[in-house]
Every structure is written in C-alpha cells, then in structure tokens.
Amino acid sequence: MEAGLKGFRALGRQVARAQDAWLRAHPEAAEAARQRLLALDHEPLVVPRRSHGRSWGILGIAAAAASWFAWSVSARPVLRFQVGPSESGAVEPRGGATRGTVGDWIAAPPEGGLPLRFSDGSVIRLDADARARVAEVTPRGARVVLEQGTARAHVEHRAATRWDIEAGPFNVRVVGTTFEVGWDPARDLFTVSLEQGQVAVQGCALPHERLVITGQTFQATCRNGRIASDSAPSEAVAVPPVVTTAGMAPSVTAPVQRPAAVSDRGSLPAARQAALAPASATGEGGRSRWRSLLARGLKDDAVDAAEAEGLLAVCDGSDAAALMDLADAARFAGRTDAAGIVLRRLRERFPADERASVAAFHLGRMAFDRAAYDEARGWFAAYLDEQPHGPLAREASGRVMEALERSGDHARARDAAKRYIEDFPNGPHAELARSIGRR
Amino acid sequence: MSQPASILARSDDRALVHALQEGHPAAKVELFERYVRHVERILARVLGHDPELADILHEVFVRSLSAIDTLEDAGALQGWLTGIAVLTAREHIRRRIRGRWLRFFAPADLPDVEDAAPDAEGREALRATYRVLDRLASDDRVAFALRHIEGLELRDVAAACNVSLNTIKRRLARAERRFSALAAREPSLRAWSERGARWKRA
C-alpha cells in the first residue's frame, strides 16, 4: 500500500506544481475577492458568540453559513442609514436617531440641520428646511433625491463606490468626496460646491457629463433647457489621488483638462447619452487613466475611471484590443452594464475584427446569465453566423440550444440539439443535447 | 481597538484574531492579505480549476469574518480557515453536481494552463486528475485532494474535514481505490497508474 501511495503523491506533486503555476499567473480571482471584501466594509459580519463548544465546530460553521446565506439571499449586502441628530457613527438607533427607510421623505426642521448617517461612514447632512429621500441603497452606495434645499455630503470612498444625488433635473455622481449640493426649485437653481474630491454632474441641458473638482462651484439652471451660469475655474487641474482603503494600492494622479466651457447649450439630451458622454474634452492623460489602473489589476477602479471619462469617448478613442480588455475588466468586476456598452461599441466600430464576434459571444453569455434567453440566443447565433468554425462555435452552438430550451421553444431546441450532436458528438453540451433529443 | 494597520501587519495570529473580534477596521484586510494565498490554494486543490474561484474565495472570507467570534483558540487560525475553505468547497462541489445537467463552461472558463504549467505532461495530468476527481464522492474527493495534492498529514486532513482520523482513513482508502480504477482509463494517468502498480509489486 505504501508503494501505491508513492504513485499518488508523485502525481499529486505534479498536479500541485501545475496548479501553483496557474495560480501565480492568474491573480485575478484573489484581486476580485479582495475588492469585494473591501466593499463589505459597511456590512457588519457578526455571529453571536458561543460560550462553549469547539472553536470551529459544526455549529459555528453552520452559523457562519446561515449568516452568509442570509446575506446572499438578501440580494447582497446593502447600506443602511439612520436619520437623526446623534453624532454617533453607529448604525443602531441611539441618541434620538431613527433607522432610515428607503423611499420615505425626510425633512430637516427649520431650526437646524438633520444628518443621514450611512453604515459605510458616509454622511449627508440636510440643511434647515431641506427635503430629501433615500431612493435606493446598494452594497456600493445610495441614490439620494434632494427635493429642495441644501445638503452637505461626505461620501466615503471604497472599492467600487457608487453614489448618486439627484437634485431637480441634475444628477451628481460621486466616487468619494466632500461637497455641498443644493436645489432651489423656485429659482430652478442647482449648485454643487466641492470641498474635496470630484463629482460628475449630468442632466438637463448639459451636453455631457461635467466634472466638478476640488475648489470648484458649479451652478446651473434648467429653465428653458439652458445652463445659466458656471463658476468652474479655467485652469487645467489634476485629479486628486483617490482615497483608498488599507491594503489597496493608491490610485494614480492624472491630469485632466478642465470641463468644457459653460456656454455649451442645446436641447435636453437623452439621459443615457449624457451618462455616456465624455467628462472632459480631449485629455489624453485622463483617457489613459483607466488603462493604467487596469494594468495594475484594479479592474473596478479602471471601469470607474472609464465611466468618469465617458464610456463612449473611451470606446471611440480605443482600439479593439483595448476595448476587449476594458469589457473583460467590466465583466470580471460584475459591471455588466458597462461591459455591454463596451462590447456593443466594439462591434459597431470594428465589425470585421474577430473580436467583434467574441463580443457577440460575451454579450450572449451576459444575456444568458440574466435569463434573457431570447437575446442570448440572438448573440450566440450572431457569433455562429460570423464565425461558423470559430474557436467558440461549439460553445455557441450549445448555448443556442440551451437558450432555446430554457425559453420554452422545445421544438427548435430539439433541432438545435440534433445539429449539435451531429457537429459535436463529444462536446460539453452533448449530454444535454441527447437529453433534449429524447424528449 | 486603535491599532494602526502597520502594527497589525507585524502581529501574530492571536493579535490578529483579537483585532478581528474587536472589530478593528484594518484587521479584515490583514486577514485577507495574510491568508488569501493559503485559502486560494486549498480551494484550487479541492476544486481544480473553477471559473467561480473568486466568488468562492470571497465566500470563505465572508464566512470566516461572520464566525470569527466563535474562534476560541486564536492560534489555530490557519487550520480554522482551512476548515471553512474545505466546507465551502465541498458545498460548491455539491451545487455543481446538482446543476451539472444545465451547467456548461465556455472555453474562456476552462482551464487555461498552457501558459502556466511547466510541461505538457503536467498539464494533462492536471486535467485528467480532476476529470477523475469529478467522479468521486465529494467527501472522498476532498480527502484525496488534501492528502495527495496538498500533501497534508492525515490528522490535518481529518481536522480540515471535521471528522475523526478513522473516518478520514476510510474515506481516503475508498478514494484511492476509486481513483486508481478510474485513472486506468485515462491515457495520461495510465503511466502513473502503472508506476504505482510497479511500486506495489516491488
């Protein structure tokens, strides 16, 4: 038996060496897990202490599993917030504070301000008479609607932070910063003043996302679809280093050209167009920031940077290889919206490039993952049309069949299954194909 | 409570566990940095290449942080993490088996070991080994992977699986018999299998 063990161990050592080499060459999984874990900074992960028993016995692990399942079932951890005067940073109500409810309108009293404290450490303080509601909370941030008045916000930057503050027809997208935002519906006047960090403003007559940085105040009115004023300074400025949490490499500082002149006027753009349009004019330094972040493996930050620059602008200024890199980063970071935009743009700009077909395949997978089976089938079919003998043809064929089956189109699924077995009798979908064929 | 992160980085496991239990904000990062490679390696040993490795890795740390208050022997942190990693991996295997009929991986998800594995024999041995392990019962697979691929001592395998030494010996014996039988049908493992047989005869 001992001799037989030598064989297992020799094989095991060889397998281990190959695995270790693979892990060294692919640090992405650890990096993704790291970023997701850091994004959970706000989420208390506490299991009640047991006073007896083995330290890591079944019950303890079961409790951990239960806690994890509760977390996962509740559609990932989201921020919580409290409303009230307490200066305590704790989430639990104390000192007169009350637990906040998403969707409720919150009005600051005439005599003073009212803070909204979020479990990630961010605070939005409503000035006297201001009215707001927290419209949405997510694991990465929140969406706050300021109906009237002024609010002072301090948003903690963490990996993949995403905060939006809507003030009238304007939207302020925040990464991590301290600023004051105001909306006066009577005067139709929007104001945002940056004490620290940067925000991107979009909406109303802004032709594209407007970057507002430290020391700037931006004012605008939407009356008649025109921007009335803007006090942004005229000098080119550097983006301040992004505040990072411990264990993360600091972000680079890159020069960014000042936002476009205020005299930009025009009709109200589509919100989507505004969101995708460039934040700055033609700053090459700014455009390359996402690439340098990506080169350092900071995928989520790279996607953030690309979005801040304007995804369409990034797409229009990048070659197919770079676009595929960005799309991969977005997919890997779970930013499927951004990935979808980049992949579609890649197909539009480089229809003859083989990557355009790969983009179709990825779009199909993303659609499949969100159970949009008809759309998924369309993308996989597009891949097969373009690359009938391409390296992904076998998988695309299987996915077409699977998408048809899942969408309830069993007759066509059987046809697809028959074709699959003919073409790929030993393929990974063959078992399913035979199963479908027997029905 | 107010230990700076740099001190935590130099601390031993007991201090780290204490900081975690006290809720020190930098302790979570330190735990991850200190043990991510170990946990990732344990997961890889048990699962082989898995496109969901990042999710599972994340899950192990979330579970660990959730249960850190139950860890009474702070000096046993690594073994405790190994146990949670094994538990998580085993559950993942079972989920994978349940969903096998509808779960298929695109080439992008399949092991891309050409650029990393040192030789063709090693690459194919890696693939074939996990093809065989895929056909073992999950408990037996875990025991085999921890013992023969990770190279843990029997008592450590038993501890990681949270079972007695006798139980792990039974699992391992069953896994080895089954592995040998299945490996004989894998061309790339036949050499290993025959080599083992020669050693057995020696």
Q: What is the CATH number of the domain that holds A409?
A: 1.25.40.10
CB contact under 8 A, A9 and B148: yes
Does the pTM of the predicted model rise above 0.90?
A: no
Q: Does B192 contact A48 at a Cβ distance shorter than 8 Å?
A: no
A15 and B116 in contact by Cβ < 8 A? no
pLDDT beyond 60 at B119: yes
> So what's the pLDDT on residue A291?
86
Does A11 sit within 8 Å of B189, measured CB to CB? yes
Q: What is the DSSP string of A58-115?
A: HHHHHHHHHHHHHHHHTTS----EEESS-----SS--TT-EE--TT-EEE--TTS-EE
Whether residues A12 and B149 touch (CB distance < 8 A) is answered with yes
Per CB-CB distance under 8 Å, the chain B contacts of A71 are 62
> In a mutagenesis test of the B interface, which of A38, A56, A379 is the best target, namely the one with the most B β-carbons within 10 Å?
A56
Pick B14 or A28 by higher pLDDT: B14
Hey, is B161 helix, strand or coil?
A: helix
Residue A167 lies in a domain: no
pLDDT of residue B175: 93
Gap between the terminal Cα atoms of chain A: 48
Residue B94: the pLDDT is 79
CA angle B146/B149/B153 to nearest 5° reads 50
Query: Is the CB of B63 less than 8 angstroms away from the CB of A40?
Result: no
- A170-174 and A198-203 beta bridge pairing: antiparallel
Count, in order, helices (H) and strands (E) of chain A. 14, 16
Q: Domain extents for chain B?
A: 1-106, 111-202
- Selecting from B67, B105, B148 the residue whose C-beta is nearest the C-beta of A428 gives B105
Whole-number Å distance between alpha carbons of A227 and A221:
5
Distance from CA of A108 to the nearest CA of B (A): 32
Which range of A109-123, A286-300, B7-21, B54-68 scores highest in mean pLDDT? It is B54-68
d(CA A40, CA B48): 27
Cβ atoms B62, A45 nearer than 8 A: yes
First to last CA, chain B: 61
pLDDT value at position A57? 41
pLDDT at position A391, please? 80
Q: Could you give the angle at the alpha carbon of A5 between the alpha carbons of A4 and A10, nearest 5°?
A: 105
Sign of CA dihedral B36, B38, B39, B43: positive
Q: Which residue is closest to B25 within chain A, CA to CA?
A: A41
Give the residue among B165, B170, B175, B167 at the shortest CA–CA distance from B142. B175
pLDDT band of residue B124 (cuts 50, 70, 90) is confident
pLDDT for res A275 = 33
What Rg, from alpha-carbon coordinates, does chain A have? Answer: 26
**Could you tell me how many CB contacts below 8 A there are between chain A and chain B?**
220
Pick from B64, B113, B147: which is nearest to A22 by CB?
B113
Specify the range with the lowest mean pLDDT, choosing from A111-115, B34-38, B170-174, B188-192.
Answer: B188-192
Chain B closest-CA separation from residue A82 CA (Å): 21
Q: How many CB atoms lie within 10 A of CB A306?
A: 27
Q: Check whether B141 has a pLDDT greater than 90.
A: yes
Looking at beta carbons, which residues of chain A come within 8 Å of B167? none
- Residues on chain A touching B73 (C-beta within 8 angstroms): 55
Is residue B36 within 8 A of residue A33, CB to CB? The reply is yes
Residues B83, A61: C-beta atoms closer than 8 Å? yes
Q: Average pLDDT for residues B57-70, to the nearest whole number? A: 89
CATH 1.10.1740.10 fits B1-106, yes or no: yes
pLDDT average, residue stretch B160-181: 91
Q: Residue B195 above 70 pLDDT?
A: no
Distance from CA of B179 to the nearest CA of A (A): 9
Residue A88 pLDDT? 39
Give the number of other CB atoms < 10 A from CB of residue A381: 18
**pLDDT at position B98:** 57
Calculate what percentage of chain B has a pLDDT beyond 70: 77
Whether B32 shows a pLDDT value over 80: the answer reads yes
CB contact under 8 A, B71 and A247: no
The DSSP code for A248 is S
Of B70, B76, B125, which is closest to A60 when you measure between CB atoms?
A: B70
- Which phi and psi (to 5°) does residue B57 adopt? -60, -45
- pLDDT cut 90: percent of chain B above it: 35
Cβ–Cβ below 8 Å for A10 and B195: yes
Which domain, by its residues, includes A391? 362-438
Phi-psi sector, A19: left (phi>0), alpha (psi -120 to 50), beta: alpha
State residue B129 phi and psi, 5-degree precision.
-60, -45
- Does B118 contact A8 at a Cβ distance shorter than 8 Å? no
- 3 state SS of A156: coil
What backbone phi and psi angles, to 5 degrees, belong to A103?
100, -20
Q: What is the pLDDT of residue B149?
A: 94
> Nearest C-alpha of chain A: how many angstroms from B70?
6
* β-pair partners for A145: A133, A166
| CA atoms of A349 and A327, how far apart (whole Å) | 14
Residue A148, both tokens:
């009237």
pLDDT of residue A210: 72
Chain B CB contacts of A61 under 8 Å are: 63, 67, 83-84, 87, 162
Chain A positions touching B117 (Cβ under 8 A) are 17-18, 21-22
Each residue's pLDDT expressed in tens, for chain A with a length of 439 residues: 455 667 788 888 888 888 888 888 878 888 888 877 776 654 444 332 323 333 334 334 444 444 443 443 333 467 888 887 644 344 444 446 788 887 777 888 887 788 898 888 888 999 888 888 887 787 778 888 888 889 988 887 665 677 888 887 777 888 667 888 888 877 777 888 877 777 777 766 565 667 777 777 777 776 655 554 444 433 322 222 222 222 222 222 222 222 222 223 232 233 333 333 343 333 334 446 888 888 877 777 788 888 777 777 788 888 898 999 899 888 877 777 788 888 988 988 888 888 999 999 999 988 888 778 888 888 999 889 888 888 888 889 999 998 998 888 888 999 999 988 888 888 778 888 888 888 7
| Residues of chain A with C-beta less than 8 angstroms from the C-beta of B101 | 431-432, 435
Q: Report the pLDDT averaged over residues B65-69.
A: 87
Per CATH, which fold does B111-202 belong to?
Arc Repressor Mutant, subunit A (1.10.10)
Q: Is B54's CB within 8 Å of A28's CB?
A: yes
For residues B114 and A338, what is the distance between their CA atoms, to the nearest angstrom?
30
**Interface with A, mutate which of B66, B77, B80 (most A CBs under 10 A):** B66
Domain count, chain A: 1
**ipTM, interface predicted TM-score of the complex:** 0.84
Q: Which chain B residues have a beta carbon less than 8 Å from that of A49?
A: 69-70
Does residue B179 surpass a pLDDT of 50?
yes
